[in-house]
Amino acid sequence: MSDKQSREEKTLTLLLVIKLPYQPTKPPEIGAWHCLMMKIDLDKDPVGKLLFNYSFPAITGMLISALYMIVDGIFVGQFVGPDGLAAINIAYPIIMLGTSASMMFGIGGSTVISVIRGQGNHTTEAGKYLTQIILMILVSWLIILTVTFSTYETLIYRLGSNEHLFPIVKDYLLTLTSFLIFFMLSIALNAVVRNDESPVYAMIAMGIGTIVNIGLDWLFIAEYGMGMKGAALATGIAQTASFVFLAGHFFRKKCTIRPAITGFMRSHIQRIMDNGFPSFVMEIAFAIVMVAFNNVLMVYMGQIGTSAYGAICYVFYIFIMIFTGLAQGLQPIVSYSYGARQFDRMKETLVLVQRTAFVIASGIFLLVFFKSELLIQIFNSDPELVAVGSHGLMIYTSAIVFLGANFVNIAYLQSMEKPKTANILSLLRSTVFVLPSLIILPKLLGNDGIWLSMPLADVMTFAVFLVVRNHKSNKDTLTPKALSV
């Protein structure tokens, strides 16, 4: 069989997997769409309506954003093979360093902006915070870019690569790092646009990037055979398209938050970082854990373990994005209500989001339990990789209910500018509990202990939250007063 014929067959398979051909579906109910497009009133609208208006676009947007990675994984897994999956998994912690910074400045800054608006302050102050977000993201990217290009020869090995994977890791890492500024700005500005009562516009921006990424992945990888460099170029150009669309929001008449002409403002930056640090911790810790996992897996299971972990990360990233979107939907409501001192609405929002997270987590658990092999096969059909990956995914997802609860609780604390407890919980879940488990459990349980380290961390973090909550108040536990530490 010729390479061209093989490539065409794989392309056809991918089109069927991601369902690019048009399939007639029942149109959405007019009422639901009308609800999304109506003007949002954070003061008076029912909490359920507000949560839908913010969470639905946020979750959809996060899932669309996840497709940046997922589509790369599908094309790379099918056209480059298991080595490509391993290469992306090894390189991605550096990309996550950038997204960590953008989450800190974007989520932290948008939280402050929402509180300011809830207090009825002038929008000029909000514009100053927006400027600080942009400036700090630019500085962060320049640091990442400089360090990556000057140390990549040793950095790639420290991330868990071997000599065989080095060339393709290099192609992917250096190309995508060059475009990282647009990804970082897209993440941060998306949070700001969403808080400017334009959650649907923010969702569309992510959709544009994903559509561009799918098209370019097919062109660069499937048609032109550009391999890892093609995957990185496709993602980078797609991120640029998403950023350009988001930037257009600030020229719309509907926009109420525009950048102010100002330099670096230390007090503003500090407030942003205080509120955004939990998001930074959760994201950067995931990058640290990925590096630790890659190194441990290479020791215990070899390259097949790293490739399987790459597929697991792709699947699990979808689940993470669902809970991230739910938490982002909670944030504007709680932040505004906190600024307006509407504590009953805050508590009502929290209870509703907790119940929603439990239902979603339960559905995810059942999906993985019955379809774990199918989820791994989306990326590669190698029998050994599927066997290792599906088994690992089932263990890795076993505490998904606790993961969802942790995301909601941390976001709630963060939304009312209570960073201390949120930071503690983020650190416990992301590093303090995970890394020791990753060292100890494999020695006790073998390979299963590697996959079990993350679920154990989620259970332990939730237990700590319950202890803190009950210590603060036995009756009215989930109020701003009770949870301030």
Q: Where are the alpha helices (DSSP H) in 249-302?
A: 266-300
Residue 3 has pLDDT above 60, yes or no: no
446 Cβ contact partners less than 8 Å away, ≥ 6 residues apart: 300
Give percent of the chain with pLDDT exceeding 70: 86
* Residue 251 exposure: Cα atoms within 13 Å on the Cβ side: 5
Spatial contact of 304 and 82, defined as CB atoms under 8 Å apart: yes
1 Cβ contact partners less than 8 Å away, ≥ 6 residues apart: none
Residue 202 has pLDDT above 90, yes or no: no
Residue 451 has pLDDT above 80, yes or no: yes
Look-up: residue for tokens 């995810």? 364
Q: How does residue 421 score in pLDDT terms, banded at 50, 70 and 90?
A: confident
Spatial contact of 335 and 347, defined as CB atoms under 8 Å apart: no
Residue 29 has pLDDT above 60, yes or no: no
Most confident range (mean pLDDT) of 75-79, 240-244, 381-385 is 240-244
Give the model's pLDDT for residue 147: 96
Q: To 10 degrees, what angle do helices 82-118 and 266-300 make?
A: 160
Give the model's pLDDT for residue 168: 93
Most confident range (mean pLDDT) of 294-308, 353-367, 419-433 is 353-367
Q: What is the pTM of this model?
A: 0.69
Opening angle at CA 237, ends 231 and 242, nearest 5: 125
Q: To 10 degrees, what angle do helices 123-158 and 82-118 make?
A: 160
Give the model's pLDDT for residue 272: 92
Average pLDDT, whole number, for the chain?
Answer: 83
Q: How does residue 480 score in pLDDT terms, banded at 50, 70 and 90?
A: very low
Give the model's pLDDT for residue 281: 75
Which tokens belong to 118? 């809830």
Residue 336 has pLDDT above 90, yes or no: no
CB atoms within 10 A of CB 347: 19
Can you tell me the distance from the alpha carbon of 328 to that of 331, in angstroms, rounded to the nearest whole number?
A: 5
Spatial contact of 45 and 113, defined as CB atoms under 8 Å apart: no
Spatial contact of 229 and 171, defined as CB atoms under 8 Å apart: yes
Per-residue pLDDT tens over the stretch 424-445 = 888 888 888 999 999 999 999 9
Give the model's pLDDT for residue 456: 96
Among 22-31, 102-111, 193-202, 420-429, the minimum mean pLDDT is found in: 22-31
Per-residue pLDDT tens over the stretch 240-276 = 999 999 999 999 888 888 888 888 999 999 999 988 8
Among 10-24, 75-89, 133-147, 356-370, the minimum mean pLDDT is found in: 10-24
Helix (H) or strand (E) holding 356, with range, is helix 343-377
Give the model's pLDDT for residue 20: 41
Give the model's pLDDT for residue 388: 94
Among 104-118, 320-334, 413-427, the minimum mean pLDDT is found in: 413-427
215 Cβ contact partners less than 8 Å away, ≥ 6 residues apart: none
Tell me the CA distances in angstroms from 439 to 296, 442, 452, 453, 468, one per residue in order. 8, 7, 11, 9, 27
Q: What is the CA radius of gyration of the chain?
A: 22
Give the model's pLDDT for residue 1: 52
Can you tell me the distance from the alpha carbon of 104 to that of 82, in angstroms, rounded to the nearest whole number?
A: 33
Residue 420 has pLDDT above 70, yes or no: yes
Can you tell me the distance from the alpha carbon of 358 to that of 53, in angstroms, rounded to the nearest whole number?
A: 20
Most confident range (mean pLDDT) of 116-120, 150-154, 190-194, 340-344 is 150-154
Most confident range (mean pLDDT) of 5-9, 41-45, 323-327 is 323-327
Give the model's pLDDT for residue 448: 94
Q: To 10 degrees, what angle do helices 199-217 and 47-79 make?
A: 10
Q: Provide the CA 73 distance to its chain's centre, in angstroms.
A: 16
Q: Tell which wins on pLDDT, 458 or 23.
A: 458
Can you tell me the distance from the alpha carbon of 198 to that of 220, in angstroms, rounded to the nearest whole number?
A: 33
Give the model's pLDDT for residue 27: 42
Give the model's pLDDT for residue 155: 94
Helix (H) or strand (E) holding 7, with range, is helix 3-18
3-state SS assignment for residue 2: coil
Mean pLDDT of 450-473: 87
Can you tell me the distance from the alpha carbon of 319 to that of 367, in angstroms, rounded to the nearest whole number?
A: 11
